């Protein structure tokens, strides 16, 4: 599946217009601050209903406006075609609320979008998966699992809902200085452990599979062998009864803190080589490469598990690479149905066309307006 076109209205600084995107490689060329990244963000928003920048919906609305919308037409293969569109995605943000539409019909579950046009984005913020907080690494691996198994989102959502309820009870106990009825926390503990153990089981399996792909990939590009992903769950038990007993033992500590101090929301991922944590001692260049290869591994895992190829969104990720690193990057790039690149005007973007220049689009981006190279301005 590929993006045939994208229409936006009041989305950041982008012009209210529709742009044809139905080729294998699409290059967005322009100076910084002109809207290249905003266009990638709009594509991602159409695919997933959220921003890869972590922006809140209200922050996306163009200055002076209150609402925004994006609409993407999706086709099976790139290239201009007269065939009917197999899918049309539309997302509206109006009066502080977001609505999702697939082929004109409103959908309630955002997960219904995930399999339409799966995207993997490469951006500067990916460094947070290496050098940032445990939450950011957990977010990355949760995203990877969701791409490979949409049902994982149900497990994650169920766990978070129970966790939210449990934390609300604990917080109220602190504020009111009154202990909640034991049966309330007993019921919540049972649900929390049941849903949490599902997450732990799937995370453990995925960490092994991901590490088996990522380690050799990192060795191929960097020459450093032995790197692996380590998953460390917060809970050490593996059974429902044992888990409920564990939470009962820790209840006093949770009541004192006013929140749940253990569980999958406290799980950790790290990168180890031999017996040492790798990222802490790695150079800036090594950490940057590690972040880039995490995304390549994510795309490969998606294809490996689903038999499909993703759409790649690459936001200036090649700017800081020298010629040799760029060559290595291209040699390990995952297979894709379509790729969008952003480049500064002086960058040699044409060397990255993989399917021949006849399968590429080159847009100049200025003040939020996309113009095909060669068009009259």
Tokens representing 230 are: 């380590």
Edge-to-edge strands, sheet with 119-122: 119-122, 311-315, 338-343, 25-29, 360-366, 369-372
* Residue 281, helix vs strand vs coil: coil
CB-based contact 120:296 (threshold 8 Å) = no
Tokens representing 17 are: 């217009």
CB environment 291-316: b (16+ within 10 A), e (fewer): bbbbbbbbbbbbbeeeeebbbbbbbb
Q: How far apart are CA 35 and CA 315, in angstroms?
A: 11
CB-based contact 77:2 (threshold 8 Å) = yes
10-residue mean pLDDT profile of the chain (377 residues): values are 90 92 89 90 90 85 89 79 72 88 83 82 88 92 90 92 96 90 93 96 94 90 88 92 94 94 95 86 84 91 91 82 71 87 81 65 90 64
pLDDT for res 74: 87
Kindly report the backbone phi and psi dihedral angles of residue 90, in degrees, each rounded to the nearest multiple of 5, phi listed first: -140, 130
Tokens representing 61 are: 């609305």
> Based on the number of CB atoms within 10 Å of its own CB, is 257 exposed (0-12), middle (13-18) or buried (19 or more)?
middle
pLDDT for res 376: 41
In degrees, to the nearest 5, what angle opens at C-alpha 124 toward C-alphas 291 and 44?
100
pLDDT for res 83: 61
């Amino acid at each position: 599946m590929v993006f045939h076109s994208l229409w936006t209205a009041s989305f950041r600084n982008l012009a209210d217009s529709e742009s044809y995107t139905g080729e294998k490689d699409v290059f967005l060329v322009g100076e910084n601050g002109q809207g290249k990244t905003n266009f990638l963000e709009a594509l991602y928003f159409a695919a997933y209903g959220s921003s890869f920048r972590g922006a809140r919906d209200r922050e996306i609305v163009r200055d002076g406006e209150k609402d925004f919308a994006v609409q993407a037409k999706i086709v099976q293969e790139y290239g201009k075609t007269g065939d009917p569109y197999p899918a049309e995605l539309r997302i509206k943000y109006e009066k502080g609320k977001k609505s999702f539409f697939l082929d004109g019909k409103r959908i309630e579950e955002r997960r219904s979008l995930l399999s339409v046009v799966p995207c993997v984005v490469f951006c500067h913020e990916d460094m947070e998966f290496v050098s940032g907080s445990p939450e950011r690494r957990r977010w990355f691996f949760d995203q990877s699992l969701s791409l490979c198994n949409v049902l994982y989102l149900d497990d994650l959502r169920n766990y978070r809902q129970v966790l939210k309820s449990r934390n609300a009870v604990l917080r109220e106990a602190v504020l009111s200085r009154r202990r909640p009825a034991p049966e309330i926390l007993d019921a919540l503990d049972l649900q929390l452990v049941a849903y949490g153990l599902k997450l732990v089981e799937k995370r453990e399996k995925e960490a092994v599979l991901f590490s088996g792909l990522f380690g050799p990939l990192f060795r191929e590009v960097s020459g450093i062998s032995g790197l692996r992903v380590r998953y460390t769950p917060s809970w050490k038990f593996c059974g429902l009864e044992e888990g409920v007993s564990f939470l009962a033992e820790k209840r006093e500590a949770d009541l004192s803190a006013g929140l749940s101090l253990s569980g999958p929301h406290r799980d950790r991922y790290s990168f180890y080589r031999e017996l040492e944590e790798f990222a802490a001692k790695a150079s800036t260049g090594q950490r940057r490469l590690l972040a880039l290869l995490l995304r390549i591994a994510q795309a490969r895992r998606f294809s490996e598990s689903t038999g499909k190829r993703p759409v790649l969104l690459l936001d200036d990720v090649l700017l800081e690479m020298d010629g040799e690193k760029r060559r290595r990057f291209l040699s390990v790039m995952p297979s894709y149905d379509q790729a969008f690149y952003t480049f500064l005007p002086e960058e040699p973007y044409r060397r990255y066309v993989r399917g021949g220049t006849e399968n590429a689009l080159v847009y100049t981006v200025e003040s939020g307006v996309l113009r095909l190279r060669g068009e009259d301005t």
